[in-house]
Protein backbone atom coordinates (compact mmCIF):
# COMPACT_ATOMS: atom_id res chain seq x y z
CA UNK A 1 0.00 0.00 0.00
CA UNK A 2 1.53 3.28 -1.09
CA UNK A 3 1.11 6.83 0.18
CA UNK A 4 -0.53 7.81 -3.11
CA UNK A 5 -3.06 4.99 -2.80
CA UNK A 6 -3.90 5.99 0.77
CA UNK A 7 -4.47 9.60 -0.32
CA UNK A 8 -6.62 8.48 -3.27
CA UNK A 9 -8.79 6.15 -1.18
CA UNK A 10 -9.03 8.78 1.59
CA UNK A 11 -10.51 11.19 -0.93
CA UNK A 12 -12.99 8.51 -2.05
CA UNK A 13 -14.05 7.58 1.51
CA UNK A 14 -17.16 9.51 2.58
CA UNK A 15 -16.22 9.96 6.25
CA UNK A 16 -12.50 10.53 5.75
CA UNK A 17 -12.97 12.99 2.90
CA UNK A 18 -15.26 15.06 5.16
CA UNK A 19 -12.72 14.89 8.00
CA UNK A 20 -10.01 15.98 5.57
CA UNK A 21 -12.11 18.98 4.44
CA UNK A 22 -12.73 19.92 8.07
CA UNK A 23 -9.02 19.69 8.87
CA UNK A 24 -8.13 21.81 5.85
CA UNK A 25 -10.74 24.46 6.70
CA UNK A 26 -9.69 24.65 10.34
CA UNK A 27 -12.95 23.27 11.77
CA UNK A 28 -11.00 20.49 13.52
CA UNK A 29 -8.42 22.70 15.24
CA UNK A 30 -8.24 20.80 18.52
CA UNK A 31 -8.56 17.42 16.86
CA UNK A 32 -6.34 14.41 17.47
CA UNK A 33 -6.13 14.15 13.67
CA UNK A 34 -3.86 16.11 11.35
CA UNK A 35 -2.98 16.23 7.66
CA UNK A 36 0.39 15.46 6.14
CA UNK A 37 0.93 15.40 2.37
CA UNK A 38 -2.74 14.65 1.73
CA UNK A 39 -3.04 11.77 4.20
CA UNK A 40 -4.80 11.93 7.56
CA UNK A 41 -2.81 10.98 10.64
CA UNK A 42 -3.89 10.29 14.19
CA UNK A 43 -0.77 11.20 16.10
CA UNK A 44 2.04 9.40 14.28
CA UNK A 45 -0.24 6.75 12.72
CA UNK A 46 -1.73 7.02 9.25
CA UNK A 47 -5.52 6.65 9.09
CA UNK A 48 -6.38 3.80 6.71
CA UNK A 49 -9.48 4.21 4.51
CA UNK A 50 -12.05 1.42 4.77
CA UNK A 51 -11.31 0.12 1.25
CA UNK A 52 -7.68 -0.56 2.21
CA UNK A 53 -8.28 -2.08 5.65
CA UNK A 54 -8.55 -5.71 4.44
CA UNK A 55 -5.29 -5.33 2.52
CA UNK A 56 -3.51 -3.84 5.55
CA UNK A 57 -4.90 -6.60 7.80
CA UNK A 58 -3.58 -9.17 5.36
CA UNK A 59 -0.12 -7.60 5.35
CA UNK A 60 -0.04 -7.38 9.15
CA UNK A 61 -1.13 -11.01 9.40
CA UNK A 62 1.28 -12.50 6.83
CA UNK A 63 3.64 -13.93 9.45
CA UNK A 64 0.94 -15.24 11.84
CA UNK A 65 2.43 -13.45 14.85
CA UNK A 66 -0.73 -13.60 16.96
CA UNK A 67 -3.15 -11.04 18.31
CA UNK A 68 -0.89 -9.24 20.79
CA UNK A 69 2.07 -8.76 18.45
CA UNK A 70 -0.17 -7.89 15.51
CA UNK A 71 -1.91 -5.18 17.56
CA UNK A 72 1.46 -3.82 18.70
CA UNK A 73 2.69 -3.68 15.11
CA UNK A 74 -0.50 -1.98 13.91
CA UNK A 75 -0.38 0.58 16.73
CA UNK A 76 3.01 1.75 15.54
CA UNK A 77 1.94 2.54 11.99
CA UNK A 78 -1.78 2.67 11.24
CA UNK A 79 -5.20 3.46 12.65
CA UNK A 80 -8.86 2.96 11.89
CA UNK A 81 -11.94 2.70 14.08
CA UNK A 82 -12.24 -0.77 15.64
CA UNK A 83 -8.81 -1.89 14.41
CA UNK A 84 -8.33 -4.04 17.53
CA UNK A 85 -11.59 -5.90 16.91
CA UNK A 86 -10.68 -6.45 13.25
CA UNK A 87 -7.27 -7.84 14.22
CA UNK A 88 -8.82 -10.18 16.79
CA UNK A 89 -11.36 -11.46 14.25
CA UNK A 90 -8.65 -11.98 11.62
CA UNK A 91 -6.40 -13.99 13.93
CA UNK A 92 -9.24 -15.99 15.50
CA UNK A 93 -10.53 -17.00 12.06
CA UNK A 94 -7.08 -18.13 10.83
CA UNK A 95 -6.54 -21.89 10.99
CA UNK A 96 -2.74 -21.56 11.07
CA UNK A 97 -2.87 -19.15 14.01
CA UNK A 98 -5.30 -21.39 15.90
CA UNK A 99 -3.05 -24.41 15.33
CA UNK A 100 0.02 -22.55 16.56
CA UNK A 101 -1.82 -21.19 19.61
CA UNK A 102 -3.14 -24.57 20.68
CA UNK A 103 0.20 -26.30 20.21
CA UNK A 104 3.02 -23.95 21.26
CA UNK A 105 6.64 -24.97 20.87
CA UNK A 106 7.75 -26.87 23.94
CA UNK A 107 11.13 -26.22 25.47
CA UNK A 108 13.35 -29.29 25.65
CA UNK A 109 13.74 -30.83 29.09
CA UNK A 110 17.19 -30.67 30.58
CA UNK A 111 18.48 -32.47 33.64
CA UNK A 112 20.90 -30.55 35.76
CA UNK A 113 24.17 -32.17 36.79
CA UNK A 114 24.42 -32.83 40.48
CA UNK A 115 26.93 -30.52 42.16
CA UNK A 116 30.09 -32.07 43.47
CA UNK A 117 30.09 -29.90 46.59
CA UNK A 118 27.80 -27.50 48.46
CA UNK A 119 27.80 -23.79 47.86
Question: pLDDT below 50 — which residues of the chain?
Answer: none
In a domain, 113, yes or no: no
User: Which pLDDT score, from 0 to 100, does residue 105 have?
Assistant: 62
Q: How many domains does the chain have?
A: 1
User: Which pLDDT score, from 0 to 100, does residue 74 have?
Assistant: 92
User: Which pLDDT score, from 0 to 100, does residue 103 have?
Assistant: 59
Contact 77, 43 (CB under 8 A): no
User: Which pLDDT score, from 0 to 100, does residue 33 have?
Assistant: 92
Which CATH number does the domain housing residue 61 bear?
1.10.340.70
Contact 5, 52 (CB under 8 A): yes
User: Which pLDDT score, from 0 to 100, does residue 104 have?
Assistant: 60
User: Which pLDDT score, from 0 to 100, does residue 114 have?
Assistant: 80
User: Which pLDDT score, from 0 to 100, does residue 98 have?
Assistant: 77
The domain of 35 spans: 3-102
User: Which pLDDT score, from 0 to 100, does residue 117 have?
Assistant: 81
In a domain, 112, yes or no: no
Amino acid sequence: VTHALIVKKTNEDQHLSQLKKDLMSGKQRNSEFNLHKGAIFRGQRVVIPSQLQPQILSQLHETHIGIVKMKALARRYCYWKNIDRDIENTVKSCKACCDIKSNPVKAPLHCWDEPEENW
